[in-house]
Amino acid sequence: MTPTSDGNTARAGQTRKRTRIQEENEEKILDAALEVFSTYGFRGATVDQIALLAGMTKPNLLYYFRRKDDIYLAVLRRTLEMWLTPLEALNPEGDPAAEITAYIDRKLELSRDDPKASRLFAMEIMQGAPILGEILSGRLKMLVDEKAAVIRRWTGEGRLAPVDPYHLIFMVWATTQHYADFDVQIRAILGERVERADHFETAKRTLERVFLGGIATGTNNSS
C-alpha cells in the first residue's frame, strides 16, 4: 500500500472541513483498531472486529476508512506523531541537560501510558516496515536530522561531552521503549514491583543519571 501524499488515509480527513463528530469517530475507530491489531496482528485482524469494538456498523466505519490497510496505517501514523512530539519540543536555545532530560522523561511516559501502540509499532518495524517505510524515511528522518544538528551544535559549543547525536537519540528510543515492548520480560523479573507507584519514577531517575552522567560536560569520559 502507498500512503496518500498528505499521509491522511481517512476519507473524512480529506474533506475541506471535518466536524467534531467525524473527528471523534475517527479516534474511536483508531482506538478500537489498536486493540484489535495488538491482539490479532495485521493479518488476523478484520474490519468487522474493529467495527464491533468501536460500536459502529461496518458500512459506517468504511465511510471513514476504505480498507483495513488504511486503518492500520492511520494507527501507526498516530503513534509516530505522538512519539515525534517530544522530539519536536527539543528546544535549540534551551539548556542541553534540561532538554534531554525532558525528552527522556516524556518518551518514558509514552511507554507507560500507551504500551500497546509501542508494541504494534515495534512489530511493524521488525517486519521491515512494509506499510510505514516511506514515512520513516521522510518525516521521521527529517526531524531526527534536524535535532541531531542541534545536539551536534551543543557538543561543538562544549555544552555536552562529545557524542554522536544519532546514536544518542537511538539509545533514548531503545531504553524508553523497552518498558513497553518488553513489559512481559520486565514483569517476569520484577514481579509485583512493576505495580508500585514508584516503578516508572525509579526508571526515570536511573535513565537520567546514566544519560546525563555520560554526556554532561565536566564528566570524565576517558576509557
pLDDT in tens, 121-130: 999 999 898 8
Please state, as a whole number, how many other Cβ atoms lie within 10 Å of the Cβ of residue 174: 11
Which pLDDT belongs to residue 9? 56
Mean pLDDT (the chain) is: 89
Percent of the chain surpassing pLDDT 70: 89
Q: Does position 8 have pLDDT exceeding 90, yes or no? A: no
| Residues 117 and 25 both lie in one domain | no
In a domain, residue 14? The reply is: no
- 109 lies in the same domain as 158: yes
Length of the chain: 223
Note down the domain range covering 91: 79-215
Amino acid at 40: Y
Give the SS3 label for residue 134.
helix
Residue 220 pLDDT level (bands cut at 50, 70, 90): very low
Average pLDDT over residues 126-152: 92
Q: Is there a domain that residue 12 lies in?
A: no
Are both 52 and 124 inside the same structural domain? no
Residues 58 and 160 in one domain: no
Predicted pLDDT of residue 221: 44
Asked whether residue 113 falls in the same domain as residue 164, the answer is: yes
Cell of 47: 474490519
Residue 5 domain flag: no
Q: For residue 44, give the CATH number of its domain.
A: 1.10.10.60
Those residues with Cβ within 8 angstroms of residue 188's Cβ, 6 or more apart along the chain or in another chain: none
Mean pLDDT to the nearest integer, 182-205:
95
Contacts of 168 (CB under 8 A, 6+ apart): 151, 211, 215
For residue range 19-49, list pLDDT tens digits in order.
Answer: 888 899 999 999 999 999 999 989 999 999 9
Going by pLDDT thresholds of 50, 70 and 90, the confidence category of residue 215 is: confident
The predicted structure's pLDDT at residue 18: 73
The answer to whether residue 193 is domain-embedded is: yes
Contact 60, 51 (CB under 8 A): yes
pTM of the model: 0.83
User: What angle separates helix 165-181 from helix 115-126, to the nearest 10 degrees?
Assistant: 120
- Position 20 scores a pLDDT of 87
In this structure, are 156 and 95 located in the same domain?
Answer: yes
Whether residue 2 lies inside any domain: the answer is no
The CATH number given to whatever domain includes residue 94 is 1.10.357.10
Structural domain count, the chain: 2
The reply to whether 133 and 37 lie within a common domain is no
